[in-house]
Amino acid sequence: MAMLTRRSRMTPPSPTAFDPFRMMRDLMRFDSDGDLEQIGGDFIPEFEMKETDDAFVIRGDLPGVREEDIEISCAGQACTVTGKREEEEHKEGERYFRYERSYGSFTRSFALPDTADVDNASAKLEDGVLTVTMPKRESAKARKISLSKGASS
């Protein structure tokens, strides 16, 4: 039987103490593709990349990130999104009961197929959602081939 000791006074855990819930949150954000790179703070926005009939689309949730704090660059067959979300100013006398929002710089890189036309890419930030669209090269788009009637013998 295990013995439990009761402490008369509990102290809150230090910020460097082991936090299993934080560890699970970090593991759930793990990117197995290896394209996740973090610089600075804990702010890691989530992205998705999809292919449509005409384009490749990268969408990311960037709440609280200003347009002037985002940089998008495409070189070769890779697209990189870099940005930062500034921490809000804490005023004296304010008391936080919960502080879960994260801030800092981030960089995300995405490998693109050879069929992506990065020269004609476009991007927009609307309602905290970044959308980067890269059309497919004309040679990569599916074409319908009609059958010709052959000569019957």
The pairing of strands 122-126 and 47-51 is unpaired
For residue 37, what pLDDT is reported?
45
pTM check: above 0.75? no
For residue 73, what pLDDT is reported?
94
Distance between CA atoms of residues 90 and 10, nearest Å: 27
Could you say which DSSP state residue 116 is in? B
| Other residues' Cβ atoms within 10 Å of the Cβ of residue 131 | 13
For residue 21, what pLDDT is reported?
74
Question: Mind listing the domains of the chain with CATH numbers?
Answer: 32-56+64-87+102-130 (2.60.40.790)
Of 52, 53, 70, which is closest to residue 61 (Cα–Cα)? Answer: 70
120: left (phi over 0), alpha (psi -120 to 50) or beta: alpha
Tens-digit pLDDT string for the chain (153 aa): 455 545 545 555 555 667 777 777 666 665 554 444 444 457 889 999 999 989 999 999 999 999 999 999 988 888 999 999 988 888 888 888 887 788 899 999 999 999 999 999 999 999 999 999 999 988 766 677 888 887 655
CB 72 within 8 A of CB 89: no
For residue 140, what pLDDT is reported?
62
3-class secondary structure, 28: helix
For residue 14, what pLDDT is reported?
56
